[in-house]
Structure 1
Amino acid sequence: MSIQLGQIAPDFTQESSRGEISFHKWLGDSWGILFSHPKDYTPVCTTELAQAARLMPEWEKRNVKVIGLSVDSGANHVGWEKDIEETQGQSLNFPVLADEDRTVTDLYGMMHPECDPNITVRTVFIIDPAKKVRLMMMYPPSAGRNFQEILRVVDSLQTSDKYTVATPVDWKPGEPAIIPPSISNEKAKTMFPQGWKELKPYLRIVELPGK
């Protein structure tokens, strides 16, 4: 199955390290990050899961629920969690799907046979409270993810939704945003009474409230 931005994230019911999860119900009105791992007891994933757990205060501040996935069993997950805590100094505080039958893997297109027919690639899906897929990233098995970038994208998406803006390259919270070309100057006067800087008719820079 090929997933596209803007479509509803496929729902599923699957076992996890914290019991059975019905995905849409579990998400509720939160944002969600679903990220997959090639398999349990892999070195790069061990570091990634620990980092995602360390960032829990940041996820909660943004109303984000995090859920991992591996194509191994729940029993394997239990042992792996112990290794993660021992080697990384961080216990897991979010569920990891035990997708042994590859139900979720197939729904989300996480298996790339040309890369390796036996393991999932490292995928990341950011899903909004309307259950729409807002971002997809795919990493090869050898490259660890940058969770600061994932946090940054969540901030960008939430800012864009709140103020109807776009964010420029390397944007971080508190920095100026961009008024989309689809918004006329007349409409922008109502939406952005603070005014903006026009570099080109299509490139209008605006400071957002709360900077």
Structure 2
Amino acid sequence: MPGLLLGDEAPNFEADTTYGRIRFHDFLGDSWGILFSHPRDFTPVCTTELGRAAKLAPEFSKRNVKMIALSIDSVQDHLAWCKDINAYNGNEPTEKLPFPIIADANRELSVQLGMLDPDERDKDGLPLTARVVFIFGPDKKLKLSVLYPATTGRNFDEILRVVDSLQLTAYKKVATPVDWKPDTSVMVIPSLPDDEAKKLFPAGIFTKELPSGKKYLRYTPHPK
């Protein structure tokens, strides 16, 4: 099945959305982007996910990230569904969310991007879209891909966390360790010589040495 691998450039597809017709690269512009798919409109898990995404939209915007969703239903269905999502969030049941939803009723885009879940099918026996998360950089290349089955809802706080990691490591010679959170210690990449590390991180780095003889350099961006 076609799909995207890390480092692949996003296809510059055209699609109808709740915000009108878009061309994907034009939509992204020079921003980061998140494309996330949903099995079906009006389903309860999808409603909770889009509700959470809508609440977090200001946080993604602060990070220069544009969000766009996809579901295998029509624009008109999407607009009606937006009312439910806004009402679920306790807001006025309007037809717009802070981001567009792509209509993919014929599943062409879902197939192209490798989004279909073979184990979850509609009443006609056709596969539904899985819960895919694609994060693209400003260069339009895929930086992260997460694939959830249709039965498992996503954690959008985690998606926000990985955006922070991706953006930090894109511009700094560091990597984020297990359970990392913003403003906590990061790992200096092993390929960086110690003398260069000291120049890049003048506030200081600390070393953890292990029985193997390996050592790990850590840097705290904002020491308490």
TM-score when scaled to structure 1?
0.94
Residue 210 of structure 1, CA deviation? 7.8
After superposition, where does 1:72-83 map in structure 2 within 5 Å?
72-83=73-84
Residue 102 of structure 1, CA deviation? 2.0
After superposition, where does 1:153-192 map in structure 2 within 5 Å?
153-192=162-201
CA distance in 1, matches of 2:78, 2:223: 42
2:221 maps to what in 1?
208
Q: What runs of 5+ residues in structure 2 fail to find an aligned partner?
A: none
After superposition, where does 1:43-54 map in structure 2 within 5 Å?
43-54=44-55
1:20 and 2:33 matched: no
CA-based RMSD: 1.6
Decide which structure has the larger Cα Rg and report it. 2
1:93 and 2:98 matched: yes
Equivalent residue pairs, number: 211
Residue 186 of structure 1, CA deviation? 2.5
CA distance in 1, matches of 2:3, 2:53: 26
1:77-109 CA-to-partner distances (Å, cap 9, x unmatched) read 111111222233246111000011223212210
1:12-34 CA-to-partner distances (Å, cap 9, x unmatched) read 10001110110011000111010
Residue 60 of structure 1, CA deviation? 1.0
The aligned amino acid for 1:135 is L
Residue 209 of structure 1, CA deviation? 5.0
1:111 and 2:107 matched: no
CA distance in 2, matches of 1:99, 1:202: 50
The aligned amino acid for 1:3 is L
Q: Which has the higher strand share?
A: 2
CA distance in 1, matches of 2:79, 2:61: 24
Q: What runs of 5+ residues in structure 1 fail to find an aligned partner?
A: none
2:143 maps to what in 1?
134
1:49-88 CA-to-partner distances (Å, cap 9, x unmatched) read 1111111110111001000000111111111111222233
Secondary structure at the counterpart of residue 20 of structure 1: strand
1:35 and 2:36 matched: yes
Q: What's the % identity of the aligned pairs? A: 48
Residue 42 of structure 1, CA deviation? 0.6
Question: Is the contact between residue 78 and residue 101 of structure 2 (CA under 8 Å) also seen in structure 1?
Answer: yes
CA distance in 2, matches of 1:145, 1:59: 16
- Structure 1 segments, 4+ long, off by >3 Å, are 114-117
TM-score when scaled to structure 2?
0.88
Secondary structure at the counterpart of residue 126 of structure 1: strand
